[in-house]
């Protein structure tokens, strides 16, 4: 009887789940809308229902499911299995999510922050798999990082390491939701890119992006900016170029501080591909110290599956292999 674990990635928009077997092979990727507005109890019910749906669909019995790994956005207390606070999930404050999902599914559950789960995915099965000192960033609605030092995840004193999105890249820049000014997230997140494109259009720039948004500046997305830049739209190219400068400054800083071997960039913003990667690499080469600038900067490989894959991989280590958690603060 084949044994499995499940990996679940809880996002503000979608919940994704995947199975993994003892050999580390993944199966049966499924994604549902989160319906986060309905509050934590309903979202947790949906996680439980999605798990059962996935089990039925793949004919996996409760006896075959050894455990669940769950990635949760925001601040997480992984030891207590508790979501401390999640700005993108209305009402999520001090929710004992691991216990609730375990009670609803009848299998043990471990949780961690979604960015760290995606980082585990890339580290173990994606673009970071053959490197020891790797930093895996997610550039999405927000920006965060999982820092691996000699194959171990470093989470810091209060599980709050890796908050690269809130490093200041523009001293007097716009105020961020975190209270700081000029955070990287204000420039290089999906929202940050869309915001700057809207500002350029409001300032009179002619751009294809406005056509892609059917004339409604309010509905501009980072994906539209990338699409327009790929077609040679100058205003969009300018926004991507500026994004690369800010991202390059932050990554050069990270390289100077930690001297990693590789930086992996994932998340929706990386839909831009080489359009963004090439100038980012150039900025890091220009700005980091001689040895630190040798860092490899590569695109993530798992795309939308990174979070669920990482959660499954960790659940496999914990619940199937009985490995000691390869981290310092867990």
Strands (E), the chain: 4-10, 14-21, 26-33, 65-72, 75-77, 82-85, 93-95, 109-113, 134-139, 143-149, 152-154, 262-266, 296-299
Q: Which residue's CB is nearer to a copy of itself, number 5 or number 95?
A: 95
Is 330 a binder of a copy of itself (CB under 8 A)? no
Do 300 and 266 contact (CB within 8 A), yes or no? yes
Is 282 a binder of a copy of itself (CB under 8 A)? no
Give the one residue of 29, 32, 53, 181 binding a copy of itself; rule: CB under 8 A: 181
User: Can you tell me the distance from the alpha carbon of 92 to that of 71, in angstroms, rounded to the nearest whole number?
Assistant: 14
Q: Which residue has the tokens 């194959």?
A: 151
Do 254 and 134 contact (CB within 8 A), yes or no? no
Is 204 a binder of a copy of itself (CB under 8 A)? no
Q: Which residue's CB is nearer to a copy of itself, number 7 or number 248?
A: 248
Rounded to a whole number of angstroms, the minimum distance from the CB of residue 246 to a copy of itself is 8
Give how far the C-alpha of residue 284 lies from the chain's centroid of Cα atoms, to the nearest Å: 22
Interface stretch with a copy of itself, choices 36-44, 115-123, 271-279, 290-298 (CB under 8 A):
290-298
Rounded to a whole number of angstroms, the minimum distance from the CB of residue 100 to a copy of itself is 24
Q: Which residue's CB is nearer to a copy of itself, number 111 or number 212?
A: 111
Q: Which two tokens stand for residue 214?
A: 């059917």
User: Can you tell me the distance from the alpha carbon of 85 to that of 179, in angstroms, rounded to the nearest whole number?
Assistant: 16
Q: Which residue's CB is nearer to a copy of itself, number 25 or number 150?
A: 150
Residues with Cβ < 8 Å from 163, sequence gap 6 or more? 144, 145
Classify 209 as helix, strand or coil: helix
Q: Which residue's CB is nearer to a copy of itself, number 167 or number 217?
A: 167
Q: In what order do the strands lie in the sheet with 134-139?
A: 152-154, 143-149, 134-139, 262-266, 296-299
Is 287 a binder of a copy of itself (CB under 8 A)? yes
Q: Which residue's CB is nearer to a copy of itself, number 9 or number 163?
A: 163
User: Can you tell me the distance from the alpha carbon of 55 to that of 19, in angstroms, rounded to the nearest whole number?
Assistant: 9
Is 45 a binder of a copy of itself (CB under 8 A)? no
Task: Enumerate residues 238-267 that contact a copy of itself by CB under 8 A.
Answer: 245-246, 249, 252-254, 256-261
Rounded to a whole number of angstroms, the minimum distance from the CB of residue 169 to a copy of itself is 7
Give the one residue of 35, 42, 211, 286 binding a copy of itself; rule: CB under 8 A: 286
Task: Enumerate residues 135-164 that contact a copy of itself by CB under 8 A.
Answer: 145, 147, 149-150, 154-164
Among 135, 177, 12, 155, residue whose Cα is nearest residue 77: 155
Classify 296 as helix, strand or coil: strand
Do 187 and 196 contact (CB within 8 A), yes or no? yes
Is 88 a binder of a copy of itself (CB under 8 A)? no
Is 326 a binder of a copy of itself (CB under 8 A)? no
Q: Which residue has the tokens 């170029």?
A: 241
Give the one residue of 180, 221, 227, 238 binding a copy of itself; rule: CB under 8 A: 180
Rounded to a whole number of angstroms, the minimum distance from the CB of residue 171 to a copy of itself is 6
323 to 18, 65, 223, 296: CA distances (angstroms): 21, 18, 40, 29
Residues that bind a copy of itself (CB under 8 A): 75, 133, 145, 147, 149-150, 154-164, 166-171, 178-181, 245-246, 249, 252-254, 256-261, 286-292, 294, 328
């Amino acid at each position: 009887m084949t044994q499995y674990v499940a990996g679940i990635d809880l996002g503000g928009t979608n919940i994704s789940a995947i199975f993994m077997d003892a050999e580390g092979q993944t199966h049966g990727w499924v994604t549902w809308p989160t319906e986060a507005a309905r509050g934590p109890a309903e979202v947790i019910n949906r996680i439980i229902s999605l798990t059962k749906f996935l089990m039925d669909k793949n004919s996996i019995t409760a006896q075959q499911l050894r455990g669940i790994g769950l990635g949760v956005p925001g601040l997480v207390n992984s030891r207590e299995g508790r979501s401390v606070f999640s700005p993108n999930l209305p009402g999520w404050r001090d929710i004992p999510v691991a216990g609730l999902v375990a009670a609803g599914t009848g299998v043990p559950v471990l949780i961690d922050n979604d960015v760290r789960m995606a980082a585990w995915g890339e580290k173990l099965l994606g673009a970071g798999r053959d490197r020891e000192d790797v930093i895996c960033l997610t550039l999405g609605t927000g920006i965060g990082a999982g820092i691996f030092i000699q194959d171990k995840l470093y989470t810091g004193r209060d599980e709050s390491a890796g908050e690269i999105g809130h490093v200041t890249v523009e001293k007097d820049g716009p105020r961020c939701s975190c209270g700081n000014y000029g955070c990287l997230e204000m420039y290089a997140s999906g929202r940050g890119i869309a915001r700057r494109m809207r500002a350029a259009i409001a300032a009179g720039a002619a751009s294809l992006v406005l056509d892609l948004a059917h004339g409604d500046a309010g509905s501009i997305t980072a994906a539209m900016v990338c699409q327009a830049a790929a077609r040679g739209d100058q205003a969009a190219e300018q926004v991507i170029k500026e994004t690369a400068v800010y991202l390059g400054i932050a990554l050069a800083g990270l390289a100077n501080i930690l001297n990693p071997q590789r930086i992996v960039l994932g998340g929706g913003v990386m839909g831009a591909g080489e359009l963004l990667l090439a100038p980012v690499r150039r900025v890091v080469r220009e700005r980091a110290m001689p040895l630190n600038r040798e860092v490899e900067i590569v695109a993530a490989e798992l795309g939308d599956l990174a979070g669920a894959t990482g959660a499954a991989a960790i659940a496999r280590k914990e619940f199937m292999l009985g490995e000691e958690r390869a981290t310092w603060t867990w």
